[in-house]
A and B are shown apart, each in its own frame.
Chain A
Amino acid sequence: MIRAALLALLLLPQAAFAAGEEIVSGLSQNQVQITANFDGSEILIYGAVKRDAPAPTDAPMAVIITVEGPAVPMVIRRKERVAGIWVNASAITVDAAPSFYAVATSAAFERALTKTEDLRYKITLDHVIRAVGAASESADAADFTTALRRIRLADKSYRLLPGHVQLVEETLFRTDIDLPSNLTEGNYKVRMFITRGGKVIDHTERVIGVRKTGLERQLNVMAHEQSLLYGLISLALAAIAGWAASAGFRLLRR
């Protein structure tokens, strides 16, 4: 009991200075509107570190910024060779994998964040992809989640951006994140962390709403809510276009 109290006392000054540094953040936009000519978007995330006392010098500071798209469950299949042909032989289900994830830091990942803090705040990709129960589906579940990472990193829907955050005088920071053109609708969570010696001192969260607007929105809503009518309109469109082309060509040949 006494030992615990002593330990708490020892930790106290550290906790005090931790509370002394806070993030003040900003986003260039908190809405992304998807219109017919949408071709990706760039968001600027910036902020400053507010402190009451001069910056401590005991450990270097780092800033980590993550942008996370809405999560969807996902089936990952693996092809294997059976009787000479390649077939989907095994699969696992990932409970939640974000449709988009970018993590930018002001320093190398190992220096910006300790393993325990990563586990606690779920910052790097290893902890972002959740595959609860996957181990029971396949003995080598890790291979599947690694493949998910690899495919998503290759098509740029997952991004690791070490050193992409500019940090000036341990006070001002900024980064830009490119949102790809194949965005999924939903709320994108922006998290900002400041760390010292790999330990998270403060963190804050903002949301960017990604929404379809205009014709994109109307079509999407109609396809889901009045699907029969939508299907029939699609057919009518096809019929009219088919007839128009035929009639047009007849006129041309005369």
Chain B
Amino acid sequence: MFQLYLPIAEVSVNAFLLLGIGGIVGFLSGMFGVGGGFLITPFLLFIGIPPGVAVATGANQVVASSISGVLAQLKRKAVDFRMGGVLLVGGLIGSWIGVRVFSWMTALGQVDLFVQLSYVLFLGLIGGMMFVESARAILRSRRHGGAPPVRRAHVHTWVHGLPLKIKFRASGLYISVLPPLGVGALVGFMAGIMGVGGGFILVPAMIYVLGMPTKVVIGTSLFQIIFVTGFTTVVHAVNSHTVDMMLALLLIIGGVIGAQLGTLAGTRLKAEQLRILLAAMVLAVAIKIAFDLLLQPAELFSLTPVVLP
């Protein structure tokens, strides 16, 4: 009942299961501004979708939930288009380099390990830092009887000493264009290597490196993710024919609804609460992957069909 045969993945799965997965990932995506690529791929692999199809179709789903999320954020003017554009330019440069490095690692034959180690390293580092910072912020606000601490508007770090300053009105920033370009490039680089949109790196980087307000970060991150994952989807469709439209459709239906609900839920929470939840999630994924690397797997062997070009 309600089993659906997926034309590209060539497996039969339950339609409601796919709607559910799309919904959960969409919800988190709308709430935190992360694309959810780092969640949806493991989910799909778990229910037996082949890896290539999972990555490519996951990217397609992220496009939909990001658009849904951006439109929801747009209504409260929480998208900084200028910042998004600058990040995107950096991102495209970075992802181009990332894809190069990826194929170089593939030639060396250790790409899986490299990807997993990058996940553990980056997710662990970022998750850990965010967790500590947001936990402190929550403790501080409790101690002050619930009143939010006065945020220093101008913390002058090295970031502010760079040339080529631009005004980012929506974020309330007047900083050099170089740091956002650099952040975008780093995220694009990681995305090219790890095959994800990079929201979980982008969101913390925007908060802590660029000093953007959390509420603007979510919409702006989603805005940038639309283009990165859209690009990825088309590249996969053309090069490896692994985008499964049927699978994508079900994930998307679940995802766009989830993203709307997630955005609503996100507005009910305080910024530091949002950050600590995202940090916990990022840490959980990092720990899961670290355990996969450290514990002896139940099956040492794995099968990969040779794809003829």
A positions within 8 Å CB-CB of B: 34-40, 72-81, 84-88, 93, 144, 147-148, 150-152, 181-185, 212, 215-217, 219-220, 223-224, 227-228, 230-235, 237-239, 241-250
Contact = CB atoms under 8 A, between A and B. Distances in A.
B238 interface: yes
B252 to A, nearest CB: 5
A37 B294 CA distance: 40
B64 A238 contact: yes
B301 to A, nearest CB: 4
B306 A72 contact: yes
Most buried by B among A86, A148, A243, A248: A86
19 contacts: A36-B246, A38-B5, A39-B5, A39-B12, A74-B304, A75-B305, A85-B294, A144-B301, A147-B299, A150-B301, A152-B303, A219-B245, A228-B234, A228-B238, A230-B237, A230-B243, A235-B230, A238-B63, A241-B68
B67 to A, nearest CB: 3
Given A35-B5, A85-B294, A245-B256, A74 B71 contact: no
B34 interface: no
Given A40-B12, A246-B72, A235 B246 contact: no
Nearest to B9: A182
Contacts of A215: 7, 246
A85 B113 CA distance: 9
Contacts of B153: none
Nearest to A77: B302
A86 B294 CA distance: 6
Interface residues of B, number: 56
B166 interface: no
A74 B301 CA distance: 12
Interface string B262-293: 00000000000000000000000000000011
Contacts of A231: 233-234, 236-238, 243
A37 to B, nearest CB: 7
A144 B301 CA distance: 7
A219 B64 CA distance: 20
Contacts of A72: 305-306
Nearest to B306: A73
A235 B63 contact: yes
B216 interface: no
Contacts of A224: 241
A223 B61 CA distance: 17
Contacts of A233: 245
A-B complex: 7 closest residue pairs judged by Cβ atoms: A231-B237, A242-B67, A245-B256, A181-B12, A147-B301, A238-B64, A246-B71
Contacts of B304: 74-77
B157 interface: no
A147 B158 CA distance: 56
A219 B296 contact: no
Nearest to B231: A235
Contact of A151 (B8, B296, B301, B308): B301
Interface string B59-73: 011011111100110
Interface in B221-253: 230, 233-234, 236-238, 241, 243, 245-246, 248-249, 252-253
